A and B are shown apart, each in its own frame.
Chain A
Amino acid sequence: MSSVISFENVSFAYNHINVLEDISLEVEAEEFFGIIGPNAAGKSTLLKLLLGMLEADKGSIQVLGRTPVEASHLIGYVPQAPSFPRDFPIKVEDVVLLGCQNSARYFGGFSSEERKIAHEALQVVEIDKLARLPIAELSGGQVQRMLIARALAGQPEILVLDEPTANIDVQAEENIFSLLKQYNKHMTIIVVSHDIAFISSYVNRVGCLNTRLVCHETESISGKTMEELYGAPIKMIHHEH
């Protein structure tokens, strides 16, 4: 397997405060990689470096053999919270169409080919019936699905999701992760989540981040690992539904 994402001794500081220190990470093609860690551990900063939205102070980052900025159009990004006003006058399908920006047609309106891709992405996340609805009328879970569809419409090689299930209920969370698992057959997926118990059943490997990064195979995550990461005793409760 080839490495699609490579961080080599990367450090980053905001106003001289180290947020990430000496991060080294290799993510293989078609891997489902989870990143967990407490608040202010640097999870979102790591994603921003990967997406080329920030530049590392030290070290080097390669994405698909290019710099993060050069590769950004090959990455589908699902942000933690929508970075647009919810009352913006736009329909669901037009938001998803904006994900098709890296197509050959750069100027003018959207082509029928792009509309087809957007419709397929909406079908995948099962909100194609909401395509003509204004975004103001969507629930939190539907917005999350729309954001995933927008990322998929760009036909990315890597899908990056920042807390994709933060604002939705457990059933919707399960549905979204099952969907991602299907996509993982031909796409590398990086997901940031606070919910280790949940993501561990889907991801191949977990990176525990708290300024520094330690990677584990999912089977090897223990209560002790979690205590070290969060700096407080963690109770592991096994239960069945």
Chain B
Amino acid sequence: MIEFFIALKDYQFMQYAMAACLLASLGCGVMGTYVVIKRISFLTGGIAHTILAGMGIAYFLNGSPLVGAIIAALITAVLIGFIKLRWRQDEDILIAAFWSCGMAIGIIFISLTPGYNTDLMSYLFGNILLVSFDDLLLMAGLDVLVISLVFIFYRQFLAATFDEEFARLRGINVEATYILLLCLIALTIVLLIQVVGLILVMALLILPAACAIQFSSSIPRIMALAVALSALITSGGFMLSYGPDLPAGASIIIVATVVYFISIFLARFRHD
């Protein structure tokens, strides 16, 4: 434990990693709340895995994989949003198809790229120790964008996630609001990929908000609590992984799961 704090004081890459944990927690707590209350975990998983297509293509074209991830995330969010709104009866199958096909496209482009790039593996499973200053700037920018839009469209998001029929009657464009919400979730996934990788991203997005929702009935409070829990989970997982040299992403997800089960127990205890 003390080794971790010494390393955090001495090494820049450790400081960047901790900053990445905290920056990821902001978007994660805010957008994870919408994923949990709207019950769209599967849909979120579909977006996360399809992002590999964008990263693979960006690698093949010698571009930035994160830019590829952002473009793929936004395109997938819009397409999956349309599937949800227009082909509701086949939603399950279509999202599963997107999920697998996105990964398949990503793998094909990786295999077509000469040499084996270890960076891409870090995006699959996360490698927080490789976060650069430019990555941190991008993460901060995404946080500012996501949180500002949630603040601006707070009442539209609340109305459309709570009661679509009534929101429509009150003149809210529920479809456009829903697509915007999915785009913000997609950008948050890109934020989290830096920390835990796209395979594990779903758990980090959902579990802190799922813990928080058990202790409040106010969405802003759930968001604040989810941000605090995300910060605790990501930095705690990172810290625990350091001594025994375990993968940080996987350690963070295990901590998140343990915290979630503790929260279920505490919520039951409080209720009784």
Chain A window 82-126, contacts with chain B (Cβ cutoff 8 Å), 1 for yes, 0 for no? 111000111100110011011000111110000000000000000
Query: Which residue of A is nearest B165, CB measured?
Result: A83
Query: Chain B: interface secondary structure?
Result: helix
Q: Are B165 and A110 in contact (CB under 8 A)?
A: no
A89-B37, A108-B152, A108-B155 given; A53·B217 CB < 8 A: no
Which residues of B lie under 8 Å from residue A109 when comparing CB positions?
A: 154-155
Q: Are A110 and B169 in contact (CB under 8 A)?
A: no
Within the assembled complex, what's the spacing in Å between the Cα atoms of A72 and B166?
10
A72-B171, A107-B153, A110-B155 given; A98·B217 CB < 8 A: no
Instruction: Please tell me which stretch of B76-84, B156-164, B259-267 contacts chain A, meaning at least 4 of its Cβ atoms lie within 8 angstroms of it.
Output: B156-164
Q: Are A77 and B169 in contact (CB under 8 A)?
A: yes
Within the assembled complex, what's the spacing in Å between the Cα atoms of A107 and B172?
12
Chain B window 130-167, contacts with chain A (Cβ cutoff 8 Å), 1 for yes, 0 for no? 00000000000000000000011111001100111111
What is the number of residues of chain B that contact chain A, defined by CB distance less than 8 Å? 25
Is the C-beta of B168 less than 8 angstroms from some C-beta in chain A? yes
Which residues of B lie under 8 Å from residue A51 when comparing CB positions?
A: 169
Is the C-beta of A75 less than 8 angstroms from some C-beta in chain B? yes
* Partner pick for A108 among B37, B151, B213, CB 8 A cutoff: B151
Is the C-beta of A150 less than 8 angstroms from some C-beta in chain B? yes
Is the C-beta of B12 less than 8 angstroms from some C-beta in chain A? no
Q: Are A73 and B37 in contact (CB under 8 A)?
A: no
Which residues of A lie under 8 Å from residue B37 when comparing CB positions?
A: 88-89
Q: Are B166 and A83 in contact (CB under 8 A)?
A: yes
Q: Are A98 and B168 in contact (CB under 8 A)?
A: no
Which residues of B lie under 8 Å from residue A101 when comparing CB positions?
A: 155, 159, 167, 170-172
Within the assembled complex, what's the spacing in Å between the Cα atoms of A77 and B166?
8
Query: Which residue of A is nearest B163, CB measured?
Result: A84
117-141 of chain A: CB within 8 A of chain B: 134-136
Is the C-beta of B218 less than 8 angstroms from some C-beta in chain A? yes
Is the C-beta of B26 less than 8 angstroms from some C-beta in chain A? no
Query: Which residue of A is nearest B171, CB measured?
Result: A73
Q: Are B217 and A73 in contact (CB under 8 A)?
A: no
Q: Are A91 and B169 in contact (CB under 8 A)?
A: no
Within the assembled complex, what's the spacing in Å between the Cα atoms of A106 and B172?
10
* Partner pick for B170 among A95, A98, A110, CB 8 A cutoff: A98
What is the distance, in angstroms, from B165's C-beta to the closest C-beta of chain A?
A: 5
Which residues of A lie under 8 Å from residue B153 when comparing CB positions?
A: 107
Within the assembled complex, what's the spacing in Å between the Cα atoms of A102 and B169?
10
What is the distance, in angstroms, from A146's C-beta to the closest C-beta of chain B?
A: 12
Q: Which of A52, A102, A108 has the most CB of B within 10 A?
A: A108
Q: Are A89 and B222 in contact (CB under 8 A)?
A: yes
Chain B window 200-243, contacts with chain A (Cβ cutoff 8 Å), 1 for yes, 0 for no? 00000000000001001111001000000000000000000000
Within the assembled complex, what's the spacing in Å between the Cα atoms of A106 and B159?
12
A89-B219, A90-B217, A91-B217 given; A102·B166 CB < 8 A: no
A-binding residues in B (CB < 8 A): 37, 151-155, 158-159, 162-172, 213, 216-219, 222
Known: A82-B163, A84-B163, A90-B217. 11 other contacts (CB 8 A): A51-B169, A72-B171, A75-B169, A77-B169, A84-B162, A90-B218, A101-B171, A108-B151, A134-B217, A135-B217, A154-B170
* Ranked 10 nearest A-B pairs via Cβ: A134-B217, A101-B170, A84-B163, A83-B165, A89-B217, A107-B152, A98-B159, A73-B171, A72-B169, A84-B162
